[in-house]
Structure 1
Amino acid sequence: MNSDHLFVLAAGLCGAAGVGLSAAAAHGGGAFTGTAASFLLAHAPAFLGIGLVSGSRMLRIAGFILLIGVVLFSGDLIALDFLGTRLFPLAAPVGGTLLIAGWLLIAASALSGRKS
């Protein structure tokens, strides 16, 4: 599986998980479930776009950084609600920092003007 397919797969999984978690939040999920759902749904179109564009190497790296970030951030919030514990100390802040870095790298990839 190449990275383009991986990002399309990630888009579908994030979208499905986001919808499922939104339903869970609406039906009495924990305090963090809705936030995790929102982050998954917000990033699903980004992964789809990255997968469909077949952009620069920098854009693909940004996509991987976003993917790791959303898994850590949302995963930590979901673990708090459903398991009562964190993935590991500072998982959400690390994930959030990676999300910010990923988005900044997407912006930088537009400025580089280079395709793979």
Structure 2
Amino acid sequence: MRRDVAFRILIALAGVMGGCGVALAAMAAHLPDAARLGSASTMLLFHALAAIAAVLLAERGLIRALPGLLAAVGFVIGALLFASDLTLRQFAGTGLFPMAAPSGGNLMILSWLVLAGAALWPRRR
């Protein structure tokens, strides 16, 4: 897959994450006992922006493209795992799979570290 196609897909996914984050925030504000939805919303909104930033930094050549792409993918998958698990627990009473939210959280942490490494690892000239 060409890099620009991957970047466009990641930006589209980040847009969907942002929309879902706003919807979950609204539900958290209006439904009783919906604290899980607030946490899910926050992770989606923050990491949608982080994914877009990683893509733009990689596309502009400010960081290496592959680590930037990996960080963006990690932000998307990690936030989706985390938010999906919390949302299912809220509405269905059961999670996505055992350790889904912690796995998503760990993936987001790892993605932030990959992004930091991409910024510190010099590009080839």
What is the CA-CA distance between 1:114 and the residue it aligns to?
A: 2.0
Partner of 1:39: 43
TM superposition score normalised by structure 2: 0.85
Q: Which amino acid aligns with 1:52?
A: L
Partner of 1:105: 114
Q: Which amino acid aligns with 2:105?
A: G
What is the CA-CA distance between 1:109 and the residue it aligns to?
A: 0.3
Q: Which amino acid aligns with 2:122?
A: G
Partner of 1:76: 85
The answer to whether residue 17 in structure 2 is matched with residue 14 in structure 1 is yes
Tell me, in whole angstroms, the C-alpha distance in 1 between the residues paired with 2:37 and 2:67.
31
Tell me, in whole angstroms, the C-alpha distance in 1 between the residues paired with 2:108 and 2:52.
16
Partner of 2:7: 4
Q: Which amino acid aligns with 2:45?
A: L
Tell me, in whole angstroms, the C-alpha distance in 2 between the residues paired with 1:8 and 1:25.
25
Q: Secondary structure at the match of 2:35?
A: coil
Q: Which moved more, 1:7-16 or 1:48-57?
A: 48-57
Partner of 2:26: 23
Aligned length: 115
Q: Percent identity?
A: 40
- The structure whose Rg is larger is 2
Say if 2:48 and 2:75, in contact at 8 Å, map to a contact too: no
Q: Which amino acid aligns with 1:62?
A: A
Where do 5+ consecutive residues of structure 1 fail to align? none
Partner of 2:55: 51
TM superposition score normalised by structure 1: 0.91
Where do 5+ consecutive residues of structure 2 fail to align? none
Q: Secondary structure at the match of 1:87?
A: coil
Q: Which amino acid aligns with 2:116?
A: A
Q: Which moved more, 1:30-39 or 1:46-55?
A: 46-55
Aligned CA RMSD, in angstroms, stands at 1.5
Tell me, in whole angstroms, the C-alpha distance in 1 between the residues paired with 2:101 and 2:113.
18
Tell me, in whole angstroms, the C-alpha distance in 2 between the residues paired with 1:49 and 1:3.
14
